[in-house]
Amino acid sequence: MNNSQTIDFSISVPGKVILHGEHSVVYGKTALAASVNLKTRLKFTTNVEEGGPKIILDLPCIEFNHSFHLKDLRELFKKQEVPLLNDAPHRTFSLNSPDSINFDKHLEIAKSFLLSQNLPISSSQESAVLSFLSLFWGMFSSVDVPLPNCLIKVTSELDIGAGMGSSTAYNISLASAFLQYIRRYKLKQLSDPCEISKQGYKSFVYCTTDLEKFEKEELDLISRWGRFGDKIMHGNPSGIDNAVCTYGSVIEFRKGTHGPDIKIIPDPRFLKILLVNTKIPRNTRKLVSNVASFKNRYSCIVEPILLAMDSVALTAAEVLRRMSQIGENYDPPNSNALEETLSKEIGKLEELIDVNQKLLEALGVSHDTLEQICHIAKSEGLHGKLTGAGGGGYAFVLLPFRGYDKQLCAVKMSYEKNHFPVQQVTLGGPGVTLIDSSLSRTYEQRRKSDFST
């Protein structure tokens, strides 16, 4: 690849809704989450001119725009190697080993770099920029690829800080963009294995067959780096958010000592929800730490609550699997019996939603406003619960299989009267999606020159 050739591409990443298992997933219990049709989008363009090589980071959602000069970033790379756990040597590190980074030290160095930039910055901007710097430094330090002179712009349809995974979608979009740039720069011959590590680092032989999409192993890598970025906002995230934003669809997730156990449930096409925004800001890290301290103080009470949450998630996963199967055979108008079964299955999901909301309340992560929203749903025969870390943010209300127009209209009116914004969303759908327009152009040029010779 020629250095002066422009690379531009877009990445889109969905937000997420946790259906069951928020908080209990942190303690190794099962959780269920789905992607939503609201996205974060990243636009990456190389070769920005004016004022020397730099990376322009444009984040309109949090009103941040700054140019980082490449010479400053190069200094950071030269002065300091990425710190590894147990002071392991750098020959043990590659792009494939985000988990071997000493995160606290890494973050400390990124913070002092940010301080040296002398930027007036809010706490939300600080988290986003630290994620950018940490991912950038972590992902580029071991690879034999020059730093990109580029513009990175991230926009989003997701509300920020409300439990819809905006931070994860942001981190996953950055990790995907850095990986795409590295692939575009390094992989000249598709399908040929290529060493991408610099000398002095652990060998990482990379191979891909398609630069216009990410393969399973590449998605796994993106998800692991996304979780690395999430640590800045969340402390020690369970990994469910990065998994669902990366792979999309509906996933059953459980943490494990050797990586998470992730089962993808084929899109249960009849799942529709109404998202209701409390407009109450909350902080995921704080809520997770409140539950930890509650559990420390009352382990014998909290443990059974977490166990009950596990059973709720496992039972709901079985219901969703049955719904997916029904979906495969569904052929209206000849499916009366299937429709009856579907309504019954959705009825079970409603019961599980009610149980879980009570359990979350007992854990101390609900809020009067979230309960008011669930109460309004109940008054119209519908069922809702908080989603994500709780304490504010969003609740969701499950919509029945059909015939819910009157109820929907009534709850929407009540929510609007109480100034809670609502949005109807579809669950499931794709995870990270890549559109590389410069690649299509390159192929087009290649095709043209093939014809002319």
Ligand X SMILES: C[C@@](O)(CCO)CC(=O)[O-]
Annotated catalytic residues are 167, 241
Is residue 30 within 8 Å of residue 317, measured between CB atoms? yes
Taking CB under 6 A as the binding criterion, the range among 154-162, 204-212, 336-344, 407-415 that sits at the site for ligand ATP is 154-162
Name the minimum Å distance from CB 30 to ligand X.
Answer: 12
Nearer to ligand X, 54 or 227 (CB): 227
Q: In whole angstroms, how close is the CB of 127 to ligand ATP at the nearest point?
A: 4
Q: How many residues does the chain have?
A: 453
Grouping H, G, I as helix, E, B as strand and the rest as coil, residue 208 is coil
Q: Exactly one of 7, 55, 57, 59 binds ligand ATP (CB under 6 A); which one?
A: 59
Of residues 396, 363, 288, the one with CA closest to residue 19: 396
- Angstrom distance (rounded) from CA 243 to CA 239: 6
What is the C-alpha separation between 12 and 8, in angstroms, rounded? 14
The reply to whether 238 sits near ligand X by the rule CB under 6 A is yes
Q: Which of residues 336-395 bind ligand X (CB under 6 A)?
A: 388-389
Q: Does 241 bind ligand X (CB under 6 A)?
A: yes
Instruction: List the one residue from 17, 26, 179, 233 that touches ligand X (CB under 6 A).
Output: 26
**How many binding residues for ligand X (CB under 6 A)?**
14
- The stretch near ligand ATP (CB under 6 A) out of 59-67, 113-121, 215-223, 377-385 is 59-67
Is position 166 an interface residue for ligand ATP (rule: CB under 6 A)?
yes
Per-residue CA distances from 34 to 243, 260, 320 (Å) = 10, 16, 11
CA atoms 312, 274, 229, 366: torsion sign: negative
Q: Map 335-351 to HEC letters.
A: CHHHHHHHHHHHHHHHH
The pair of three-digit structure tokens given for residue 222, joined into one six-digit string: 């993106």
Name, in order, each residue with C-beta under 8 angstroms of 366's C-beta and a sequence gap of 6 or more.
357, 360, 386, 390, 391
Residue 25 as a binder of ligand X (CB under 6 A): the answer is yes
What are the residues whose beta carbons fall under 8 Å from the beta carbon of 385, sequence distance 6 or more?
353, 354, 356, 357, 360, 374, 395, 396
Residue list 105-124, contact with ligand ATP (CB under 6 A):
124
What's the min distance (Å) between Cβ of 164 and ligand X?
9
Q: Does 73 bind ligand X (CB under 6 A)?
A: no
Q: Which C-beta is closer to ligand X: that of 187 or that of 288?
A: 288
Span of 20-28, 119-127, 404-412, 424-432 interacting with ligand X by CB under 6 A: 20-28
- Cβ–Cβ < 8 Å for 42, 153: yes
Q: How many other C-beta atoms lie within 10 A of the C-beta of residue 450?
A: 8
Question: Nearest to ligand X by Cβ — which residue?
Answer: 238
Residue 201's SS3 state is: coil
Give residues in contact with ligand ATP (CB under 6 A).
40, 59, 61-62, 124, 127-128, 154, 156, 160-168, 170, 233-234, 241, 283-284, 388-389
Give residues in contact with ligand X (CB under 6 A).
18, 22-23, 25-26, 234, 237-238, 240-241, 284, 288, 388-389
